[in-house]
Amino acid sequence: MNELTVVGSGLAGTLLSLVLAQAGHGVRLFERRADMRKVPQGAGRSINLALSARGLFALEEVGLKEAVMQAAIPMHGRMVHDLSGKLSFQPYGQSGEYINSISRAALNQTLIQAAEDTGKIQIVFNQRCTGYDFAKHQVQFVDDENQFNYAFQASGPVFGADGAGSPLRRALVERVRVNYAQDYLEYGYKELTIPPGPDGGFQMEPNALHIWPRSTFMLIALPNPDGSFTCTLFYPFDGPQGFEQLQTPEAVQTFFESQFPDALPLLSDLQTEFFQNPTGALATIHLSPWYSGSELLLLGDAAHAIVPFFGQGMNCAFEDCTVLSQVMNEMGHSAHPQWEPIFQTYHQRRKPDADAIADLALENFIEMRDAVADPGFVLRKQVSLLLEKRFGRQFIPKYSLVSFHRVPYSLAKIHGEFQQQLLEQLCEGLNEAENLNWDLASTLIEHYSQTAPNLGTFLEQEVNAP
């Protein structure tokens, strides 16, 4: 039964295993860490995530949407904190459109439990993958519990969902004609906590993603079910305004006092957390192809890690599983599928979208840390939502195409470029969104509809989806 091998029981690997099991395959799922349902995992690294349409669709396909959404906190927009502590709320979409703050650990545990409950997925914990031998089709592991090395002889294909630092990718990258790039951001990140208030409740508005945009850097905060917020400071590593200058409690105190005065009183454990939590690095990974023959396929961060600023890392990894499942269905069900054409088709279809969301995520960093504080940007965002309200599917803002719809990321990106032009024209000389020139808007929307790629088929599919 255990013909398929999946490496990594993180979010992508476990959902993939569920999808493969649903297609009738037995799966052996290897995980580096201990069983997270029994052993608590270290904090300090992205403990919450923003779940949106693509991730929700994939979860629904394996029957887990409802269970996951029970612990989700809707975030309807951005709550922008200026230097004086003044708040302004910028909705993400129309009323009823929101993204969801969820706990990575809780979601992963739900997935692992569901995987085990299928009876088709055998999870082996404490098995650290260290490499792959193409000639022998063996995955190399260290059993960290019992302290020995071994090579696992795979029969069917090996699926690598072993994350941004993927050991399986390292093996693939050594092959000839495999293109690869890793690009680090000049920014590091540090996780901090705003605990619940004395009454156990939230100390800020819970149904928003909080941003303190400071042009070249930012602090953000996402709500957790226990009344706390997980905050993340994104700040350059080097230079006069960089982590290298924040070496003493005094420097940290002064920095937060001057930049985030309203957050400082809420960050009650700031000094301890700042010096105990690691300063994380962020990279974008490009790889091509993602597979080798019928033997190995990488998915999720292992294939295309992105920066977190569009909240799409997990959603994209989940959508990888959706697309792979679609391709498998299109090629016909079988107990012994032709994996190489499946991997080839999957790669061909999915790669442009993974490239697009990588770019969009980088662009969104500038939007979050800088643009949200710019009145021109705020006006264009307001106008774009008004246009959608009036023109419906003829104008769905880029953010919404990415977060509330499932049209291919590559098309969302192209539409974003058309929209940017349209909005700049429409907002020139405009002081308030309400004073919009609707005649001009109609003309521009007409032109946009005729020139931008058609999204109709994709939007239809969403409506007809289960």
Where on the chain is the footprint of a second copy (CB under 8 A)? 170, 173-174, 176-184, 237, 281, 286
Minimum distance between the CB of residue 215 and a second copy, rounded to whole angstroms? 23
Minimum distance between the CB of residue 187 and a second copy, rounded to whole angstroms? 11
Q: Which is nearer to a second copy, 170 or 390 (CB)?
A: 170
410 contact partners, CB below 8 Å, separation of at least 6: 352, 353, 355, 356
Minimum distance between the CB of residue 128 and a second copy, rounded to whole angstroms? 15
Q: Tell me, rounded to whole angstroms, the distance of Cα 325 from its chain centroid.
A: 20
3-state secondary structure of 316: helix
325 contact partners, CB below 8 Å, separation of at least 6: 19, 22, 23, 61
Backbone conformation region of residue 357, classed left if phi is above 0, alpha if psi is from -120 to 50, else beta: alpha
Please give the Cα distance from 102 to 73 (Å, whole number).
7
Looking at this protein, which amino acid is placed at residue 33? R
CB burial of residue 1 (10 Å; 0-12, 13-18, 19+): exposed
Q: Which is nearer to a second copy, 102 or 298 (CB)?
A: 298
Minimum distance between the CB of residue 150 and a second copy, rounded to whole angstroms? 19
Q: Which is nearer to a second copy, 249 or 278 (CB)?
A: 278
SS (H, E, C) 169-218: HHHHHCCCCCEEEEEEEEEEEEEEEECCCCCCCCCCCCCCEEEEECCCCE
Q: Which is nearer to a second copy, 33 or 286 (CB)?
A: 286
- Residues 46, 308 contacting (CB under 8 angstroms): yes
Q: Tell me, rounded to whole angstroms, the distance of Cα 24 from its chain centroid.
A: 28
Minimum distance between the CB of residue 37 and a second copy, rounded to whole angstroms? 30
Q: Which is nearer to a second copy, 365 or 404 (CB)?
A: 365
- Residues 338, 356 contacting (CB under 8 angstroms): no
Minimum distance between the CB of residue 314 and a second copy, rounded to whole angstroms? 22
416 contact partners, CB below 8 Å, separation of at least 6: 360, 398, 401
Q: To which H or E segment does residue 397 belong?
A: none
SS (H, E, C) 255-314: HHHHHCCCCHHHCCCHHHHHHHCCCEEEEEEEEECCEECCCEEECCHHHHCCCHHHCCHH
CB burial of residue 168 (10 Å; 0-12, 13-18, 19+): buried
Q: Which is nearer to a second copy, 87 or 173 (CB)?
A: 173
Backbone conformation region of residue 91, classed left if phi is above 0, alpha if psi is from -120 to 50, else beta: beta
Q: Which is nearer to a second copy, 271 or 344 (CB)?
A: 344
Backbone conformation region of residue 42, classed left if phi is above 0, alpha if psi is from -120 to 50, else beta: beta
Minimum distance between the CB of residue 80 and a second copy, rounded to whole angstroms? 30
- Residues 15, 111 contacting (CB under 8 angstroms): yes
Q: Which is nearer to a second copy, 183 or 269 (CB)?
A: 183
Q: Which is nearer to a second copy, 306 or 445 (CB)?
A: 306
Minimum distance between the CB of residue 255 and a second copy, rounded to whole angstroms? 22
Minimum distance between the CB of residue 245 and a second copy, rounded to whole angstroms? 17
Minimum distance between the CB of residue 149 and a second copy, rounded to whole angstroms? 14
Q: Which is nearer to a second copy, 91 or 131 (CB)?
A: 131
